[in-house]
Structure 1
Amino acid sequence: MPEHADRFLEAHPFDRGLWLVVAFAAGIVAWVSLPALADWIALLLASLAIALFALILLDESRFPYVRLALFGCAAMLAAGMATIWAKSELVGQPGIARPAVMTLQGKVLERREEPAKARVRLLLLARIPEFPDPVRVRVNLPIAKDLPTITEGAEIRLRARLMPPAAPMLPGAYDFARTAWFNGLAATGSALGDPTVIRTSDQGATLRAVQRSLADHVRSQLGGSPGSIAAALASGDRGAIAPADDDAMRDAGLTHLLSISGLHVSALVGAVYFLVARLLAAIPWIALRIRVPIAAALMGALAGIAYTLLTGAEVPTIRSCIGALLVLVALALGRDPLSLRMVAVGALVVMLFWPEAVLGPSFQMSFSAVIAIIAFHSAAPVKGFLTAEHHGPLVRMARNLILLLVTGVVIELALMPIGLFHFHRAGVYGALASVIAIPLTTFVTMPLIGLALLLDSAGFGAPAWWLAGKSLELLLALAHFVAARPGAVTMLPAIAPWTFALFIA
């Protein structure tokens, strides 16, 4: 048996590293799943024992690959556990013991406007009697009681009803308490009275203020639902999207278009890389003196980082930016940018800084979609379909459309169990809607918004805004049409964790 395993590992040299990342993720999941401190210590000791067993007792000359595999997987399992355990000890924040009404006085760390819900969401650093040091508290302030001086850095006082971070309502449901623990959030609540500004902010221009200004500018150029979605694409501010439109996008399987993630970051980075590379290559004096791919990759990286910061630098956006930067590095070095090894490196980087993200649907859906795309397009039948002889542009276009549709179906099949586990619902027609929505957003809407913002600096952005609005009206019409179809949404009761683990395996 060990001989067969060693020969198998020797025959698959490029797959061995992928399982080290899987073992790291398994360590994170094990730490969350095991209930007690003694269980964590026992698993850590068992992992270290297996690693030592592999190094000491296995003959390196007979089983070199099995020896390395056992040592590497056991060590990465222990490293995953240690990473999330260390972060929990460093940043974990217990919630308040019970609901309470109290007066809070503290500094505004973050302000998020949500006009669609008629509120402003404030993140405060305030003192609470239960804790010796100031803690983070999230408070919803009715928009009618909002003051223009309540900005990041201001010190305010208000009376609020606070609640402990909510535990899952059902087994397997969203665990906000765990998210709040790793975000350092002690309580959430709603303001009961008018806030008082004790001291205005002395901070200069902040990224959050720039983000709000950009969102306000976009909504001033485009009214209604198209303007709200355009603001979300340009700045990451989703607070003004009407609930009916948000529900339609979700039921149509298109809600991922509203959240700044891999699609948006990769579209921007890819466009900048392509344009810069073409421009530099067209100038012989420059093309002969610098490496065009490296220069284009550098400009694409700067654009991706700037877009990530401008849209709020949320964890999903940062994760997408990291993936895009790795792709740019591969392009600059002349390596294959779309490989499972590249996905594994990106996942490991994310897990090192945000190990708790492994348990969330965003991480799981993002990497599952990328893995499904790479695995599907690496299959021999698909490669043969792409390289087969064609007879003109119409056949080539038909082939690309078929491949786009089938890719959408593959992604939908990969993501549906994840959506059902976390949300107990999934859009059935998402693959069909995405065939139109993704190219429309990537190649029409986002370039038009960028062009309109560029032309606004000279006062000529109105035509581009009109075209962008029409494209967004088409996107919304598609979402409402698909969401209204019979059977558009599949609803299921809670799925047992072991069933979900079986699917992942």
Structure 2
Amino acid sequence: VISTAHPKLRYAPERVRLSARKVPADMTAGSLLTGYARLLQPTGPVRPDSYDFSFDSYFSGIGASGFFLGNPKTIASEDAPPSARLASTIEKARESIANHIRGQVGGPEGEIAAALIVGVRAGIPDEINEAMRRTGIYHVISISGLHMALVAGTIMLLLRGAFALFPDFASRRPVKKYAAAAALVSIAAYLVFSGIVVAAERSFIMLAVMLVAVLFDRAALTMRNLAISAIAVILVSPHEVVGPSFQMSFAATAALVGAYAGWADYRADRTTTPPPKRSFLRFTSRKLAMGMGGLAMTSIIAGSATALFAIWHFQRVSPLSLVANLAVMPIVSVVMFLGVASALTMPFGLDWPFL
């Protein structure tokens, strides 16, 4: 809110959420609007112990909600503060990238691709959203730890592969740290262009702690780093502790870190014998089975750790989530790899092979 009049509010809210029957045709992200509006205080829970809209509005800086009494009009934006101009520039860039992706892919697939790359989910059809919720794979299109990890992993994989082409340089320099630093910058850019939503912000902090640990020659996936990430998130957004996003993500991550740490200790203590010689077909099938088994265990562990939170917050459980995640996750990994490649080549107009 830049200013108010008729009446002029002494304590005007910083942000408001308004609806309108018709918006100006020339309105874009960051445009300034003027008009008469009815402002109401943020509503509370619809029924006892249900979702409290005013709680989220308070921590989002939204002081009122309501509707325009007439059609709003756009005005010159020279008076907008620098922070609003920066946010407008970023939002316009997001919309431009999303429109480019929609033009290249088209249809619901293009909307899902835009959601994966820049976090624009408004165009996904309702039936697809509901189908993903029922099967427990809606997290695929919500920018969170999965996407951040895939982006960071893709950048590190590409850079370490590129450094490996120069053995002399790679043997003398800490190329792993270089790749980790580049991955840190990449996920920071991904955070900005995905809209800086709460889940992405929390995931960025978690991954940033782990990548910084790599820079200082520390183990990345440890309970200590997870605790540091939780403390950092609490310092930045303390209200997230009571939300499902914080609880489910940290519960799943803690369960996975603990389970795989236990598995690593078990394998280290077990007496190993030289593996027998296998044919290429048996070797490939064994690796494929191990990969599918790892995905299955990941889904079981994460699903078990978050099931109670999902039941409590959303009053629903997805019995097909294990099968759906097993089918979807390998595809999502490939899609995110192509998405990162398309984002890197998009400024040069060479993204068409990846979309």
What are structure 1's unaligned runs of at least 5 residues?
1-105, 108-124, 466-505
- Report what 2:309 is aligned to: 418
Which whole-Å deviations, capped at 9, do the CAs of 1:194-222 have from their partners, x for residues lacking one?
A: 11123235747711111111111111112
1:349 equivalent in alignment to 2:240: no
Distance 1:405 1:186 in 2: 45
- Report what 2:10 is aligned to: 132
Kept after mapping to 1: 8 A contact 2:136/2:320: yes
Distance 1:131 1:386 in 2: 69
SS of corresponding position for 2:54: helix
- Report what 1:71 is aligned to: none
Offset of residue 414 of structure 1: 1.3
2:56 corresponds to which letter in structure 1? T
- Report what 2:246 is aligned to: 363
Distance 1:320 1:196 in 2: 38
Distance 2:169 2:4 in 1: 56
Q: What pairs up with 1:237-316 in 2 under 5 angstroms?
A: 237-316=120-199
1:448 equivalent in alignment to 2:338: yes
Distance 2:48 2:302 in 1: 26
Offset of residue 232 of structure 1: 0.7
* 1:182 pairs with one of 59, 63, 70: 59
- Report what 1:82 is aligned to: none
Distance 1:164 1:130 in 2: 17
Offset of residue 380 of structure 1: 4.5
Number of residues of Structure 1 aligned to a counterpart in Structure 2: 340
Report percent identity of matched pairs.
30
Offset of residue 313 of structure 1: 1.5
SS of corresponding position for 2:188: helix
Distance 1:233 1:380, change over 3 A: closer
- TM-score under structure 1 normalisation? 0.62
- Report what 1:121 is aligned to: none
Offset of residue 382 of structure 1: 8.3
- Report what 1:148 is aligned to: 26
Kept after mapping to 1: 8 A contact 2:152/2:187: yes
1:208 equivalent in alignment to 2:91: yes
* 1:325 pairs with one of 205, 208, 212: 208
Kept after mapping to 2: 8 A contact 1:158/1:194: yes
Kept after mapping to 2: 8 A contact 1:160/1:192: yes
1:159 equivalent in alignment to 2:36: yes
Distance 2:126 2:133 in 1: 10
- TM-score under structure 2 normalisation? 0.86
What are structure 2's unaligned runs of at least 5 residues?
none
Offset of residue 320 of structure 1: 0.9
Larger Rg: 1
SS of corresponding position for 1:170: coil
- Report what 1:169 is aligned to: 46
Which whole-Å deviations, capped at 9, do the CAs of 1:227-274 have from their partners, x for residues lacking one?
A: 111111111111111111111111110111111110111111111112
- Report what 2:75 is aligned to: 198
Distance 1:454 1:375, change over 3 A: closer
Distance 1:198 1:150, change over 3 A: same
1:334 equivalent in alignment to 2:211: no
- Report what 1:401 is aligned to: 292
1:438 equivalent in alignment to 2:329: yes
Distance 1:127 1:330 in 2: 52
SS of corresponding position for 2:218: coil
Offset of residue 453 of structure 1: 4.5
SS of corresponding position for 2:74: strand
SS of corresponding position for 2:35: strand
Distance 2:342 2:175 in 1: 28
Offset of residue 404 of structure 1: 1.8
- Report what 2:115 is aligned to: 232
- Report what 1:477 is aligned to: none
Distance 1:363 1:301 in 2: 21
Distance 1:185 1:283, change over 3 A: same
Kept after mapping to 2: 8 A contact 1:268/1:304: yes
Distance 2:248 2:8 in 1: 38
Offset of residue 457 of structure 1: 5.0
SS of corresponding position for 1:356: helix
SS of corresponding position for 1:206: helix
Q: What pairs up with 1:454-473 in 2 under 5 angstroms?
A: 454=344, 456-457=346-347, 459=349, 461-465=351-355
Kept after mapping to 1: 8 A contact 2:29/2:91: no
Distance 1:218 1:298 in 2: 28
Distance 1:320 1:171, change over 3 A: same
Distance 1:380 1:301, change over 3 A: closer
Distance 2:264 2:167 in 1: 40
CA RMSD of aligned residues (A): 2.7
Q: What pairs up with 1:42-191 in 2 under 5 angstroms?
A: 106-107=1-2, 132-135=10-13, 136-142=15-21, 144-152=22-30, 154-191=31-68
Distance 2:115 2:155 in 1: 20
Kept after mapping to 2: 8 A contact 1:327/1:338: yes
Distance 1:345 1:127, change over 3 A: farther
Distance 1:140 1:415, change over 3 A: same
Offset of residue 463 of structure 1: 4.4
